Amino acid sequence: MSKAGREDQSCRTMLADFDRRGELLVIDDEVDPVHDLSAALSLVDAAAAVRFNRIKGYAMPAFGGLLSSRERIAEALGVPKDRIQSRLLDAIANPVAPVMVDAAPVQEVERRHDILTTLPVPTFFDKETGPYITAGLIVAKDPETGRGNASYARMKVLGPNEVMIGIAPNHHLGILSRRAAEKGQPFPFAVVLGAHPAIQLAACLYLGLGDDEMHCAGALLGAPVRLTRCRTLDLCVPADAEIVLEGLIHGNEPIVEGLVSEYHGMYEDYGSGVRASFQCMTSRRDAMLQVIEPGYHAEHLLLGAVPIAAGLRAAIGRSILNVGEVAVTMAGSGRTDVVVQIAAPRPGQARRAMAICWGAVSIVKNVTVVDTDIDPWDPEAVAWAKMARMRADRDILIVDQMPADRSEPQEAGGTIAKVGYDATCRAGDRKEGFDRALPPPGSYGRMRELIGRLRPELLP
């Protein structure tokens, strides 16, 4: 477990590590929160994290791109890149309960009025209709069971203490806040900004309603999450975050949103979100606002892709024991396109895996099944497998009239066709077999050693 993981539950150690290694772009020039900050994050995208020290009209700095590559996600979890998925699966299987602390860095300062006026919330895209809080990790709980829930949802700033929150109807936060609204009650929630990245990843896991993401976060950190009680709500939040907003979701007060960007890189018109209000903000004395560049940008895609892939791996593994790694590709916007490895698949298993993916996560559209020699996260390798191992007339399955997620770019009348590609080797397909034409391993070993002496940087 990395230092960033076990000893420090803020996001600061990781940012400092990036800075030391030249992976943090520090911008001291003044930037406008309207579009310019967003343009900088869009340009840098996966290449680095960015810190903005001077934002026009605000004293507070901001940062973005904390988890904009799988390398950085691996670092946040303290594992090599190829162990991210198994680390997440371990955490789902072996959750760790949080601990309560009284003295919380995130409560050094408290503010009860004009709460949002201190935050340099960016306006991101041309056709959007206002500034959005995009890195808000929302903590809530089911009043009936007392079990916690953590997730993300965008919030458009409407006034000094008010936002519109856009929650998909099937998300647990949507279900819980609707239940309260049906009883005529507002629903308490806390928005956490700048928590440890392992806590952020846990919040994106697709777990069952009632499974508390904060317990998975503890397992990912390798230590119980340090929580502190909110000042005005019966909710507990990560003590070492940057900022916490305490408020209420008013599920009976719809607010038309206007166009909003989605993961697929285009705009959606979802109609109305609902009003939410804040009565208290606590923060560190020198707090920074965390920003996630939304739309088709690396951090937004990966924060969905990596946890969704782990959730699918867990779902498939319950019935297909020979499943390998599961990837959710960036080309599929980190949401819609899945690649599943299966070791020596038996007849029918590829199609079963497709069905499980479509059943488990409504947003998934394309599923490709590959053998375990194909890296599912490598788009070139997956395209090669389709070219070399698939017969389109036999190995493509199209299932039409499936329910479409509301974010599906080609949704029409509530349904969409889903497609599965079985790109695994079939015995008997090639009389020459499937062996790769390569030099034998012994020669590779000798030449690796030789080139390593001459020009090590040329080796893969």
Ligand X SMILES: Cc1cc2nc3c(=O)[nH]c(=O)nc-3n(C[C@H](O)[C@H](O)[C@H](O)COP(=O)(O)O)c2cc1C
Interacting residues with ligand X (CB under 6 A): 149, 151-154, 166-168, 171-172, 204, 206-207, 292, 300, 303-304
Task: Tell the smallest beta-carbon distance from residue 274 to ligand X (Å).
Answer: 12
Could you give the CA distance from residue 66 to residue 53 in angstroms, rounded to a whole number? 16
Q: In this structure, are residues 353 and 316 in contact, taking their beta carbons and an 8 Å threshold? A: yes
Nearest of 83, 56, 75 to residue 15 by alpha carbon: 75
Could you give the CA distance from residue 11 to residue 15 in angstroms, rounded to a whole number? 6
Task: Tell the smallest beta-carbon distance from residue 221 to ligand X (Å).
Answer: 19
Report the residue number, 250 or 386, with the smaller CB distance to ligand X: 250
Report the residue number, 164 or 423, with the smaller CB distance to ligand X: 164
Determine the residue with CB nearest ligand X.
151
Report the residue number, 115 or 202, with the smaller CB distance to ligand X: 202
Residue 297 Cα distances to 40, 221, 302, 326, angstroms? 12, 26, 9, 21
Could you give the CA distance from residue 120 to residue 210 in angstroms, rounded to a whole number? 34
Task: Tell the smallest beta-carbon distance from residue 344 to ligand X (Å).
Answer: 33
Report the residue number, 121 or 167, with the smaller CB distance to ligand X: 167
Could you give the CA distance from residue 102 to residue 100 in angstroms, rounded to a whole number? 7
**Residue 115 parent element (H or E):** none
Report the residue number, 241 or 292, with the smaller CB distance to ligand X: 292
Report the residue number, 180 or 204, with the smaller CB distance to ligand X: 204
Report the residue number, 104 or 133, with the smaller CB distance to ligand X: 133
Task: Tell the smallest beta-carbon distance from residue 228 to ligand X (Å).
Answer: 21
Task: Tell the smallest beta-carbon distance from residue 154 to ligand X (Å).
Answer: 4
Task: Tell the smallest beta-carbon distance from residue 140 to ligand X (Å).
Answer: 9
Task: Tell the smallest beta-carbon distance from residue 307 to ligand X (Å).
Answer: 7
Could you give the CA distance from residue 248 to residue 162 in angstroms, rounded to a whole number? 10
Nearest of 124, 172, 156 to residue 257 by alpha carbon: 156
Give one DSSP letter per residue of 253-285, joined into a string: EEEE---EE-TTSSEE---EEEEEEEEEEEE-T
Q: Report the alpha-carbon angle 343-348-351, nearest 5.
A: 90
